Amino acid sequence: MKNNHRGRIVMFMLSLGCLSSDAKLAGARNILQYDLASYYYMSDVVVWVDELSYEKLEDVYHTDHREKTKVLKVYKGEVKPEEILDVLVDSQIARHKIWDGVWECVEWEKKYCKKSKMTRWNEAPLSQVLMFLIKSKDKRANYQLITMKLMVHNEIYDLKQVDNPGVMVLVEPKPEFITLPSGVAYGLKELEDDLMLAIERAKDFEAAYAAQNIEKLKKFLPLLPFQQYPGNHVDANMLSRKAAELIALIADKNVIQALLKECSEKYEKCEYYVNSVLKGAVKE
């Protein structure tokens, strides 16, 4: 390992805000949208729940919300079906933040819309939800929400910020790891199939990371195909970021330069974050 470079590379990543902090993601003002495998990796608990109730929690700085939920199915974490969880929801993604009406789609937004309109987050009824949670340091709840997938009127929705600054809206989800046949809607089965493949990817990454296997880690550097589009500034990939951080610390410069060349083959292939971390390591 390149111990002589470690300190300076770490300082470089800190200067970019690149060192990942899972716990602060849910409260970030600039909301990044991660893929399912990244959310699974970042979470302490992944569960399908029934939402039972919510309440506002006011303090001097902002308004959080607390949801009471009942666990239906566990994908990750030390919780059990039927267990009741108190979940803290940051004000930026709070379900009942007040907005008026329904946002009509303008032309450039239509790719995000479901049934020609985007539904305001606060208009969604209490429902069954796939929640990605981290342990909360706040005494008001035992878990904090990172993100969720909702089932509203038997349809699956993503929670997404399509413009920044802007409100959170419910949008039609994109398949991430599965191929969706023409004419087939993305429903509960498709979401679970996607999630199973995401879990497999996250576990493969964890094994490669623990073994510090550069050959396997470099396969995680590119964004996923659905995240690769011109002008992307909101879709991010935590596995790519973590892989880049470790490669920057342990790989030789010629290896890193080759990876940078691969990333530059297509402008949007690798996240700006990943390119920045690798370039910082080469400059050492």
* Whether residue 134 is found in the same domain as residue 271: no
Residue 192 included in any domain: no
* Dihedral angle sign, alpha carbons of residues 267, 272, 278, 284: positive
At residue 137, the pLDDT reads 86
- Quote the crossing angle between the two packed helices 3-16 and 272-283, to the nearest 10°: 140
Percent of the chain with pLDDT over 70: 69
**Do 105 and 85 share a domain, yes or no?**
yes
Mean pLDDT score of the chain, rounded to an integer?
78
How would you label 16-38 residue by residue, b for 16+ Cβ within 10 Å and e otherwise?
eebebeeeebbeeeebbbbbbbb
The CATH number of residue 171's host domain is 2.40.50
Q: Is the pLDDT of residue 49 over 70?
A: yes
> CA angle at residue 272 from 269 to 276, to 5 degrees?
120
Non-local CB neighbours of 149 within 8 Å, separated by 6+ positions = 129, 130, 156, 157, 158, 159, 173, 191
Contact 263, 215 (CB under 8 A): no
**Cβ-based burial of 109 (10 A; exposed 0-12, middle 13-18, buried ≥19):** middle
Least confidently predicted of 37-41, 162-166, 230-234, 249-253: 162-166
What is the extent of the structural domain holding 278? 3-21+212-283
pLDDT at residue 275 tops 80: yes
- For 226-250, the DSSP string reads GG--TT--SEE-HHHHHHHHHHHHH
For 142-163, how does the pLDDT look when each residue is reduced to its tens digit (9 = 90+)?
999 998 898 877 788 887 776 6
- The count of structural domains within the chain is 2
Regarding predicted confidence, which is higher, 66 or 102?
A: 66
Residue 166, pLDDT score: 61
Assess whether 13 and 50 both reside in one domain: no
- Determine the angle formed by the axes of helices 3-16 and 238-250, rounding to 10 degrees: 150
pLDDT 10s digits, 197-224: 999 999 999 999 999 999 999 999 999 9
Domain final residue pick, 171, 186, 201: 186
Do 153 and 82 share a structural domain? yes
Of the candidates 169, 186, 203, which is a domain's last residue? 186
Clarify whether residues 121 and 229 are in a common domain.
no
Cα separation, 121 vs 30, in Å, equals 18
Q: What is the pLDDT of residues 235-262, one digit of tens each?
A: 899 999 999 999 999 999 999 999 999 9
Tell me the pLDDT band of 140, cut-offs 50, 70 and 90: confident
Is 217 domain-assigned? yes
Residue 22's pLDDT band (cuts 50, 70, 90): very low
Residue 58 pLDDT class (50, 70, 90 cuts): low
| pLDDT number for residue 62 | 53
Determine the pLDDT at residue 53.
Answer: 83
